[in-house]
Structure 1
């Protein structure tokens, strides 16, 4: 056996064996040494290691075992570097393998420059785990940002989870570590093992830019090959820009995939992405929705968070399949004419040990100060929006979902918690901004940059903000100081109207303004009217359960409310189960109560929502000017005594206006004279009290011709029957 100090410096050998060497590429692999070539390998899984010529397969040398899995030896009759393989022996088992330390860097100079600058627009193509061909050999390239780590290794079943085996190469001052592992491909399970700057071993970490993950509760990342998917949705992508403008009908079906429908015969499992493509997609299409919105699907460890505490922002959750399966689901949406929106959570992340928290032993993604980096509401961490690399990570992630998965929109969760430094904090628990104010200037800049980036890359997409305050310009362009979102959820409308609907009809006259107040600001943003999952959890009950009265009145109230919503300016969003009046509060651990459709009132509600969607989409007056005051005119918004609301919706000048009348009491109003803005014949288009929906069938058959009798400030009027607890839509017929 050769002397160790003749083949390797003793301190370097000790550091390699201990897994504490910060630059193993300078030691391991093939290196000139005292005028000869020496090959060193750290292979503790082997008893013997031989070197083979990769071209001819000829045995060149047997390496000496220096102890603790470290091998080294001189390559005779060779002076220049060459391609080699290793032959390893353990007992009677003999196998051949490429050496990771035989390969040079994979990332290019431009990648390194952009990573160092924090401006890599396609960050996911540089970082993460990528099956690829490097120097003619198939394998997987790993790269991770950990600037303060003394050592980073990739570990997995492929190396016995031994952090000494694949210690990564540090790329200059970027803080990025990389390694190419030959022979490794799609499906390999891995994590990163890091030593902090004081050489303390940290908890194993999942890949922040990993594209796959193990099925929870397991927490490792999984190599997923994103190359080569043969997309067939080119026609949809060319048309979607026109479908997602503010003058188009947008009606969104919000879905929690895990609980939409389950298979009770198979241990009550959830459906897969591909099964959902065959069931959820046609259901949403047949119901007349234009979009499906998914609660977050970025990998999340705790199912009870519904995805709102993600760990793997780049990994579609493995609960329903692989990234390829998710792509098939997206493609099915597009084939059915449906857009797909996913909820995106850049506002906070969980403290799970395998996640982003103190990733390299420091507050890397989060603020070090808990007054800035800790979220008291959810016991989570807050991203450091002032750090360039963190901005790059988040903005690139937004682009990633559009570019790699062809999604059509992002709905950004909890925007209000990002905009204000004192959100849910008491005095003394938050840090003012540089001007002494409460606004989070860095978060504001991040949201603006994100919207500029995604719309700049493809202006056919859409973004929406769940923002619950009066922060100005959420859906205004960034060049005018706005945040740049396409749409904003109208949380005020939702809260006010639901409070009104929970009142007994006899008391509603005292709360009339809750239904009309939203029109004071309805056109200040591009609004979506949301009845989301948040309204059917945490003891709030179902929408049906919040309606007063006996069973008939509860259903009638909800039908009237849906009519009010679909007639009101703003795009629509409805959480799953509400369309058929789910009776129980939503439970994320069980299926929706689909059996309720065997009962006429629930089936009638489902028919109503489908018909409202179809009327909304087919009637320009109900959607073209959703975001313009020119599209709305009160007929009578002040009839509090009768709890009747009436207004007109208008589209382009060549489209017919629509009159909406809503009666929020159980008292029918026959012979009700109501003003109309145009003379002519008006025809009832939809009545939520129709028998087919479960109502009393107090309808207005035929047409209603206007007369010169003035009413509600209009020169013309029609006489109608206003049904109890119902909304009625009339359209002016063509002359």
Structure 2
């Protein structure tokens, strides 16, 4: 509430008395500390405080030569405190709303006094923050546009338990750390202040002073909801919780769409390089443009989900988002948080789920980030043997500190609740699980039991999954876990980590190594194709061909293939056919679906012009058809995580590099038979056992001419007769095209 201004009333001149009162009450040292921004408890002095029958108002304004107080009843003078530039004192009869008025060089200005407003955070917030169980931490901390005591403004709150003083900086105070020192809330380590008349779009940072008075680099808000465009590093006030969601239909059915019995085919995307607007400075697409183009493409290609490389704000483009500073801020590179919500909503309207890569394993040491946030190792371990990640020159979260675990757990819920994300893929889980990850002897600290497992990280991951699944219905969590840690996708109450799915890195490594070999040598590596079935049902697996496989000198998927150009494309088609019929959900990085020739470059667009070449267009068509077939045939997805959903027909034809297997759905679902020929040699009249007698219809031939193949005709219908073979009561003769995968469905 802004009180009426009675500018015609001249203030009474009692400045000498005001000056003497302020000096007597403050003392010269504290007065200077207040004016210079060194006083740890400015709310104890600034603003209105009772002094006998009146109220003394103390204020700081380094730009003012004169100051006064405007109330409903008139104006009251303020006097400068002797020897302390910028500090003024005045008296009013009561603490009713007032404005501060400054004057200098013929200019006047007036504003609300932030120090006349009471606290915003309640006792429940304090209790939950102190306990480390505030599941909606973002509703307490961060910057929130609110109306407080009748006045609009922004409430700032930040956790900095070891700081001596914290202040908010921004254009609203000339980025002056002497202004807007915050109020400390008890023993929680939280500092807060309500600053009137600033709102959405305001840039800000925190200025912290260490416990012993040492300066700390200015910090972005750990729970900031927006950020400036890099390389600028300030946080930006953004509204939270005001979006009018219109995706109720999707939300009601997503649990079924993301279950282990559902077809899940994920298109992994780096938003900055999927497609660029060459005519406009080669800029990336915005969230709103992606809502139209990317979502439309995913639908056309038959993918069920989009997985986005991290979009939490990050300073360095070359990290691809995997070194985030603003975990609560969607990157401004592509638009505002609300525009990101529009992308999510567009995907949901099209029946596409949105998964977000989430990085709770480490964070960069940028000065404006979490590193030594309050002058101490607050979010990270102090000991570099625990707190420094040697591979990435980053810092490791201290999962054993309850407030840090709360910060991360709440962040997971934030993306799921505030942005309707359908799931989180957790990056680098293996690096979190083991204290000796990528470390030599003597470079790591054993756990309390003397072992190498990071018990605190394990407890944290179990807690995140328990809270996420227990709080938000229908979501999925995915672990990128590259070791054989047991029970990654098993329930927490059964001793597992509680993830919904795990990336099958072993399958990926083995099969890519196999397909690199010239076909003449593949007979010696046959087990690299078959070994994955030994453990295929020990977890709920996703088969990943991710961005990591097409960077850092690994080449593109096409370049991994041996032989001349024709054989490269044929090998890639066969590999994709094998992948899409193998047990496990699917994930493919952008560009791999049309056989991008060069490695992925985050600074440029995918090479969409390659689709002018029928060979690349053929790979794209194959992927589209594989996706639709995978979704249409229950046998290919319904029992992905069950041994009963798979049966070997021919697993031992190593000399010929031929595989044959059956996929089964629920009772009543037609079974599917898959035959793979990983040599360029056509094989006519190849007999295979069949799970059912009668006719079998060909549903896909990866060697078909429409995909760029040789066009060798494989029978559209084969008949399984009574000849027993390979343990089945009936069998059929099949012609196998070179470097091909055939899919047959029981008619």
Give the deviation of 1:518 after TM superposition.
0.3
Secondary structure at the aligned position of 1:499 is classed as: helix
CA contact (8 A) 2:268 2:309 kept: yes
CA–CA separation in structure 1 for the residues paired with 2:411 and 2:85? 40
Unaligned runs of 5+ in 2: 1-15
CA–CA separation in structure 2 for the residues paired with 1:371 and 1:614? 49
The residue that corresponds to 1:12 in the other structure is 30
Residues 207-246 of structure 1 aligned to structure 2 (within 5 Å): 207-246=221-260
| 1:577 lines up with 2:622 in the alignment | no
Secondary structure at the aligned position of 1:187 is classed as: coil
| 1:83 lines up with 2:97 in the alignment | yes
| 1:426 lines up with 2:468 in the alignment | no
CA RMSD of aligned residues (A): 1.1
**Cα displacement string for residues 568-594 of structure 1 (whole angstroms, at most 9, x for unaligned residues):** 000000000000000001111110000
Matching residue within 640, 663, 667 for 1:649: 663
Give the deviation of 1:670 after TM superposition.
1.3
Secondary structure at the aligned position of 2:531 is classed as: helix
CA contact (8 A) 1:372 1:431 kept: yes
Secondary structure at the aligned position of 1:257 is classed as: coil
The residue that corresponds to 2:9 in the other structure is none
Residues 657-668 of structure 1 aligned to structure 2 (within 5 Å): 657-668=671-682
Give the deviation of 1:92 after TM superposition.
3.2
CA–CA separation in structure 1 for the residues paired with 2:104 and 2:536? 73
The residue that corresponds to 1:72 in the other structure is 88
CA–CA separation in structure 1 for the residues paired with 2:357 and 2:79? 54
CA contact (8 A) 1:206 1:354 kept: yes
CA contact (8 A) 1:7 1:73 kept: no
CA–CA separation in structure 2 for the residues paired with 1:69 and 1:61? 17
The residue that corresponds to 1:144 in the other structure is 158
The residue that corresponds to 1:295 in the other structure is 309
Taking a change above 3 Å as real, the CA distance of residues 652 and 71 of structure 1, as seen in their structure-2 partners, is same
| 1:590 lines up with 2:611 in the alignment | no
| 1:568 lines up with 2:586 in the alignment | no
Matching residue within 466, 473, 478 for 2:487: 473
CA–CA separation in structure 1 for the residues paired with 2:35 and 2:230? 33
**Cα displacement string for residues 193-223 of structure 1 (whole angstroms, at most 9, x for unaligned residues):** 0000111111100000000001011111000
CA–CA separation in structure 2 for the residues paired with 1:381 and 1:462? 27
The structure 1 segments of at least 4 consecutive aligned residues displaced by more than 6 Å after TM superposition are none
CA–CA separation in structure 2 for the residues paired with 1:177 and 1:460? 36
Give the deviation of 1:69 after TM superposition.
4.5
Residues 21-40 of structure 1 aligned to structure 2 (within 5 Å): 21-40=39-58
Secondary structure at the aligned position of 1:454 is classed as: helix
CA–CA separation in structure 2 for the residues paired with 1:579 and 1:124? 38
CA contact (8 A) 2:76 2:90 kept: no
The residue that corresponds to 1:531 in the other structure is 545
Give the deviation of 1:82 after TM superposition.
1.6
CA contact (8 A) 1:44 1:68 kept: no
Residues 149-228 of structure 1 aligned to structure 2 (within 5 Å): 149-228=163-242
Give the deviation of 1:522 after TM superposition.
0.1
CA contact (8 A) 1:49 1:86 kept: yes
| 1:351 lines up with 2:365 in the alignment | yes
**Cα displacement string for residues 549-585 of structure 1 (whole angstroms, at most 9, x for unaligned residues):** 0100000000000000000000000000000000001
Unaligned runs of 5+ in 1: none
Matching residue within 382, 395, 398 for 1:381: 395
CA contact (8 A) 1:36 1:74 kept: no
CA contact (8 A) 1:287 1:610 kept: yes
The residue that corresponds to 2:517 in the other structure is 503
The residue that corresponds to 1:624 in the other structure is 638
Secondary structure at the aligned position of 1:260 is classed as: coil
CA–CA separation in structure 2 for the residues paired with 1:250 and 1:84? 60
| 1:59 lines up with 2:75 in the alignment | yes
CA–CA separation in structure 2 for the residues paired with 1:609 and 1:97? 62
CA contact (8 A) 1:66 1:72 kept: no
CA–CA separation in structure 2 for the residues paired with 1:74 and 1:420? 61
CA contact (8 A) 2:682 2:736 kept: yes
CA–CA separation in structure 2 for the residues paired with 1:269 and 1:195? 40
Give the deviation of 1:700 after TM superposition.
2.7
| 1:371 lines up with 2:380 in the alignment | no
Matching residue within 598, 602, 622 for 1:608: 622
Residues 115-130 of structure 1 aligned to structure 2 (within 5 Å): 115-130=129-144
Residues 178-187 or 32-41, more deviating: 32-41
Give the deviation of 1:96 after TM superposition.
1.9
Secondary structure at the aligned position of 1:730 is classed as: strand
Give the deviation of 1:45 after TM superposition.
2.5
| 1:541 lines up with 2:555 in the alignment | yes
Matching residue within 68, 73, 92 for 1:50: 68
CA–CA separation in structure 2 for the residues paired with 1:75 and 1:348? 52
**Cα displacement string for residues 497-538 of structure 1 (whole angstroms, at most 9, x for unaligned residues):** 000000000000000000000000000000000000000000
**Cα displacement string for residues 84-128 of structure 1 (whole angstroms, at most 9, x for unaligned residues):** 111222323322210100100000111111111111110000000
The normalised TM-score by structure 1 is: 0.98
| 1:719 lines up with 2:733 in the alignment | yes
Matching residue within 512, 523, 533 for 2:526: 512
The residue that corresponds to 1:446 in the other structure is 460
CA–CA separation in structure 2 for the residues paired with 1:75 and 1:17? 19
CA contact (8 A) 2:69 2:90 kept: no
The residue that corresponds to 1:110 in the other structure is 124
Secondary structure at the aligned position of 2:38 is classed as: coil
Give the deviation of 1:235 after TM superposition.
1.1
The normalised TM-score by structure 2 is: 0.96
CA–CA separation in structure 2 for the residues paired with 1:39 and 1:16? 14
Secondary structure at the aligned position of 2:273 is classed as: helix
| 1:264 lines up with 2:278 in the alignment | yes
Residues 43-52 or 67-76, more deviating: 67-76
**Cα displacement string for residues 625-663 of structure 1 (whole angstroms, at most 9, x for unaligned residues):** 000000000001110010001100000010000000010
Taking a change above 3 Å as real, the CA distance of residues 456 and 57 of structure 1, as seen in their structure-2 partners, is farther
The residue that corresponds to 1:550 in the other structure is 564
Give the deviation of 1:35 after TM superposition.
4.3
CA–CA separation in structure 1 for the residues paired with 2:83 and 2:243? 47
Give the deviation of 1:370 after TM superposition.
0.4
CA–CA separation in structure 2 for the residues paired with 1:238 and 1:60? 61
